[in-house]
Amino acid sequence: MTRTHSRRPIVAANWKMHTGPADGAELARAVAAQGLPLDAVDVVVLPPALGLSAVAEALRGTRLAVGAQHVHWESHGAFTGEISAAMLVGLAAYALTGHSERRRLFGETDRDVRRKARAIHDAGLTPIIAVGESLDERDGGQTEQVVRAQVEHALADLTPALTAASVLAYEPVWAIGTGRTATPEQAEEAIGWIRAAVGALHGAAAAGQVRIQYGGSVTPANARALLGREGVDGALVGGASLDAASFAAIVQAAA
């Protein structure tokens, strides 16, 4: 594939609430054994917090990165059940925020996402910031304004340089876990809107450098078509990432 820019593809495995320490480490080892094209693609696995240490240990010495699915925006304090980005230093290189499951099921707001994106950077980690519209919003023709507003909130506390060093993920809510993937054209269009929103907020250089993934029912069967589109810099994979060979096939499609 010829690319008109220098952004390195990034594919992340969001294991969601699957795997504990032992089976998580086993899955991580299976992923690492797949012969991934790591010269060409950044690969990140996002296990549940409980398994972060075991997975990081299993991947020590490999070029696979580990990330958290969720962090608090403060570095420490009386926040029962939470973990902070600062606590992940040495363990994880990435942290996800803004995922629609967190927004919808756990009340994560745009303001939370903004604070978390900043906290993740402040800890020296890279945020993967997810945005995306619901089916009603898409059917109502509001996708562009919805993702623009989410981007504006999420990046409000970041500098252009921190924005350029972030990863964004376009995850239409209606495509997550439904088997209903966005078409490559829809993914390209929405990612174009997201990149334009980044540009309007933090300038053309940041917009040109920030990597934007597509997520939502990505499989080995559809990955090549999605990842071949202009501006689609990788994938955020849920269900298909729980099978090492399937995930590897998606990483290959990004290379």
Residues taking part in catalysis: 99, 171
Let me know the angle formed at the C-alpha of 121 by 104 and 149, rounded to the nearest 5 degrees: 40
Site track for ligand 13P across 151-180, x = CB under 6 A: --------------------x----xx---
**129 makes contact with ligand 13P (CB under 6 A):** no
From 239, 243, 249, 255, residue interacting with ligand 13P (rule: CB under 6 A): 239
Q: Which of 162, 68, 149, 160 is nearest to 110 (CA)?
A: 149
Smallest gap from Cβ 218 to ligand 13P, in A, equals 5
Contact between 99 and ligand 13P (CB under 6 A)?
yes
Instruction: Decide whether 208 or 219 has the Cβ nearer to ligand 13P.
Output: 219
Nearer to ligand 13P, 12 or 164 (CB): 12
- 13/201 with CB nearer ligand 13P: 13
Q: Which stretch binds ligand 13P (CB under 6 A): 21-29, 31-39, 196-204, 234-242?
A: 234-242
Judge residue 189's burial from the number of C-beta atoms within 10 Å of its C-beta, 0-12 exposed, 13-18 middle, 19 or more buried.
middle
Q: Give the one residue of 32, 93, 218, 244 binding ligand 13P; rule: CB under 6 A.
A: 218
Name the nearest CA neighbour of 163 among 175, 176, 152, 178.
152
Give first-to-last CA distance, the chain, whole Å.
Answer: 8
Q: What is the distance between the alpha carbons of residues 64 and 142, in angstroms, rounded to a whole number? A: 37
Q: Which of 67, 61, 20 minimizes the C-alpha distance to 43?
A: 67
Nearest to 71 by CA among 124, 26, 148: 124
Q: Is 217 in the site for ligand 13P (CB under 6 A)?
A: yes
Q: Residues interacting with ligand 13P, by CB under 6 A?
A: 14, 99, 171, 176-177, 215-218, 236-240
